[in-house]
Structure 1
Amino acid sequence: MKHTVVKVGTGVLTRDSDGQLDGASLVRLVTGLADLVASGQPCILVSSGAVGAGISELGLDSYPNDVPSRQACAAVGQSRLMHIYQNLFGNFGLRVAQVLLTADDFRDDARRARLSDTLTRLSQFPDVIPIINENDSVAVEELSVGDNDVLSARVANLVGARLLVLLSNIDGLMPPESDQIIEYVNDVESVLDYARAGKGRFSIGGMASKLKAVKYAVDSGIETVIANGRKPSHLLDISEGKGYCTRFAARKPKA
């Protein structure tokens, strides 16, 4: 069976008030992913949160503006984040595998092939959840993929995923001047200007970033969903074509 790739951002994993990791949110996320795996669906998790975890660990009160401070936060926070994931997934009899990437892992053909081989080999162990993040401690601008929304779309394309789920802090994509989400989008081009300004104090991306990732994924033939990361118990329903979310149709390849 093809993979479901799930991306979760810092805004879901941390409290916006202080940037501390939100333990309850992490438990809900891991439980939802474990339900997916138990249903027989292999999963890859693309997880932000390393910089956010490092911010709180180093006692900072805001997202640092300088690159060395962000990289230091990532270096401190990544190990803390993975330790938490390891413990939480272990409660469900699952193991985790850390994969840290930079843009060169996609640009360079040899490195891309090795990454593909690694993920293919990991998929042969159904109790292992690959957890992917950008290698923020070394990924300066020329090495950066962009953000984890885009990274998740590129990973989904690499593994030929059946579904990409972008977990946000809202239920889905809302049109301008509306609080009701659009539940189905057949043409992503028609909603690219629906992105709203604003993001969490400790977050990097936003809706514009998600729509960029959506376009990349659906153009690659992968159905994509934006859903509420605070309600990951719906992941199994979403994977089965149900659930309250915005669902973007994959584009069919040209004949």
Structure 2
Amino acid sequence: MSFADWDVLKYLASIVDILLVWFVIYKVIGLIRGTKAVQLLKGIFVILIIKFVSDVFGLNTLGWIMEQAITWGFLAIIIIFQPEFRRALEQLGRGRLFSRTGYHEEENDEKMVEAIIKATDYMAKRRIGALISVEKETGMSDYIETGIQLDSKISAELLINIFIPNTPLHDGAVIIQKNNVAAAACYLPLSESPFISKELGTRHRAALGISEVTDSVTIIVSEETGSISLTKNGELYRDLGMDKLRELLESELSLSKTNNAASARWNWRVKKDG
């Protein structure tokens, strides 16, 4: 083998090495997305930027503080985020760390919408309270861990059965992740907005709360009135009919044929409810 061939092999090996590193970084980011580890990652970048700026401008005291934060910070990270590291190792052991991620095909999304519509219609007519949150881009792993893990294929019958009163899973929220019912009886953060109407209960506050911290779409069925509501991006859509609910879900899940339907929504913003 000539020196030229050896140089080409070394060049190809370097390219493969770089691609593998980027692939691992991409998978790790996908794993921690939606957890509190994302905020930690942002904090680390801020510290590194401050350290770089302090070195460039000769800010010795600030640089020393950042150096101490970096030196001892990794030990604190291991202690604070021990559950996340454990989950990552468990997924690696199951061979799931490098599995395919992303949303299912549009056909599966349509089936999910149909299941939600059917279950919501059934529960609204019988005044069965329900809280269903659909994950989009922002991960909801932290909230899934607060409930009972199911990881089941979604169906209207399953959703109805979960929210039947006096059953073990009826109290709390169902979180749908990648077209699966990831967990039930989950705790969602309550909104502290002062503009929420006094007539709205805990379910509506929880739905608004999760919409303020994630891009999820959450459906609420009122136990008192049987009315259907939906929240997204801190906004509340109340007293929806089944056609309007379908329109909103299809629009938010990119299933709508046109984008003009969004302008025709019957929408009460939270500030208008106060």
What is the TM-score with the length of structure 1 in the denominator? 0.26
Q: Which has the higher helix share?
A: 2
Return the index of the structure with the highest Cα Rg.
2
When normalised by structure 2's length, the TM-score is 0.25
Higher relative contact order (CA 8 A, sep 6+): 1
